[in-house]
Amino acid sequence: MKIRGAWLQFARYLSAVVAYAFLAAFIGLVGTQIYSWFRSGDWTHIGVNDGLRAVLARCCARGGDTGYFSPLMHWLDAPVDWLGLHKVLDILPASLALFAVSVVGNCIAIYCRDRIDEHRRSA
């Protein structure tokens, strides 16, 4: 049972870090959008496609690369299949996706904490 407890503790801390990191990213993105709205009077829509494109351009796939993530980058720029998914990712706000990942990470952390507490009570 010690391995299970260690695994639950690790999963709890990792999911909490992910949850709070994505919550901070959500707050930062919404804050940036609000700042832009106050400055220009127009709400800047940032979709999941825009976020994925920015992350891939920064870390994984540059302009004419032929690396592992370059097909995804090309699909984000000009899709030829999975057009419905591309439209959903374009319409879905990145802030909503960041908040959803934060909530899921927090739920996993709470679940792991409850299992650890349950194990301690039964021992």
57 and 33 co-located in one domain: no
Give residue 41's pLDDT band: very low, low, confident or very high (50, 70, 90).
very high
DSSP string, 30-70: HHHHHHHHHHHSS----BHHHHHHHHHHHHT--TT--STTH
For position 60, what pLDDT does the model report? 78
Q: Whole domain around residue 105: which residue ranges? A: 1-43+95-123
Is the model's pLDDT at 5 over the cut of 90?
no
pLDDT (tens digit per residue) in 20-32: 999 999 999 999 9
| Domain identity same for 2 and 31 | yes
Question: In whole angstroms, what is the distance from residue 43 CA to residue 75 CA?
Answer: 26
Do 60 and 31 sit in the same domain of this protein?
no
Residues 88 and 100 in one domain: no
Q: How many domains does the chain have?
A: 2
One domain for residues 7 and 27: yes
pLDDT tens digits along 53-77: 888 888 877 666 677 888 888 899 8
**Given this model, what pLDDT does residue 4 score?**
84
